Amino acid sequence: MRADRLVAALLLLQARGRVTAAQLAAELEVSVATARRDLEALSAAGIPVYPQAGRGGGWQLVGGARTDLSGLSAPEARALFLLLGPASPAAPPVRAALRKLLRALPGTFRADAAAAAEAVVVDPAGWGERVRDRPDVALLAEAVVARRVVEFGYTGRGGEPGRRRAEPWGLVDKDGTWYLVAGTPAGRRTFRVDRMGAPVDTGEVFARPADLDLPGVWDEVVGEVERRRSLVAATVLVAGRLVPVLREQFGRHCTPESWPREDGRVSVRVAAPTARSVAEHLAGWGATVEVVGPAAVRAELARIGAELTARYGDGEG
């Protein structure tokens, strides 16, 4: 996994002082492009890794090689734990290595590093949409680690904008879309970062719930959202080669239910909040998919088809 490679890359940099992307690729048995992306990820996360151009160049740590990870500065340790903390989908050996590293850090760094390790959850399963990363994430991550209240403009599902004040408990990266899990006067709330307007760190410190389990909280959030998003399920037949495309559209609400039939089609279960929303997702597929049931979804598709025929069926224009 990527977390394994990032830790290995950092250890290699400290052991050798400087490596090229090609050398790192050979050591980790990945492509040069992947090695370069890993090095750039370390740099973007705040680890002082930088490239040196020219003959004899490569990538190295600011200040030269160090003998072990306990030589990290406070910001470096916090950045590393934000990137590879136990809340991320790192392999068990990586999480074990981070726990040992945490014990090896100077006591003054340990609290921030531990907080950073629990600040971010990575959920790779999307909900059928992707949103480009926001620069606000870095500010919010710092507020999570430092336990500082934030204020921001927010437009909820109802479309009503307003100013919010929240205690940031943790961030979740869900397939490229970021969410903030926070405490508010109304209780626990989840905010989409791309709907926030200019978040501000107020500097006011809060006490994070001692028993907070961010991955567990996120599981509860996902469970509730999934329940609302999958109230109506439909069974469709589609060519096996198109199942990945259908899954991209419906996210985790797309589940193949059979092996390919003789005609090459697969039975797939798709779901959405209403019969109408299922039909709207499928209407663009035309005759490429066949909706087996339920009748409510078929009726909605017939209604959509009739509307389109009424408007465009004369062939004019």
Kindly give, in sequence order, each residue whose CB lies less than 8 Å from that of residue 268, ignoring residues fewer than 6 positions away. 235, 236, 237, 238, 243, 246, 254, 255, 256, 257
3-state SS class at 52: strand
Q: Where in the chain is the domain with CATH 3.30.70?
A: 230-312
Averaged pLDDT for residues 127-148: 69
Kindly give, in sequence order, each residue whose CB lies less than 8 Å from that of residue 69, ignoring residues fewer than 6 positions away. 10, 11, 14, 80, 101, 104
Angle ∠(37,43,46) on CA atoms, nearest 5:
140
Q: Where in the chain is the domain with CATH 1.10.10?
A: 2-117
Kindly give, in sequence order, each residue whose CB lies less than 8 Å from that of residue 48, ignoring residues fewer than 6 positions away. 61, 62, 63, 76
C-alpha dihedral, 24 to 28 to 32 to 37, nearest 10°: -90
pLDDT above 80: residue 71: no
The model's pTM? 0.48
CATH number of 123-220: 2.30.30.520
Residues 269-282 pLDDT 10s: 999 889 999 999 99
CA distance 232 to 202: 43
Residues 237-257 pLDDT 10s: 999 999 999 988 888 788 998
pLDDT above 70: residue 121: no
CATH class of 230-312: alpha beta
Tokens 């500097």 belong to which residue?
Answer: 203
Q: Is 31 or 130 the better-scoring residue by pLDDT?
A: 31
Where residue 315 falls (left for φ over 0; alpha for ψ -120 to 50; beta otherwise) is left
Confidence of residue 235 (pLDDT cuts 50, 70, 90): very high
Which of 228, 236, 235 is closest to 286 using CA atoms?
236
Do the Cβ atoms of 159 and 109 come closer than 8 Å? no
CATH of the domain spanning 2-117, picked from 1.10.10, 1.10.3470, 3.30.70, 3.40.50: 1.10.10
pLDDT above 70: residue 89: no
Q: Is 188 or 177 the better-scoring residue by pLDDT?
A: 188
CA distance 229 to 39: 38
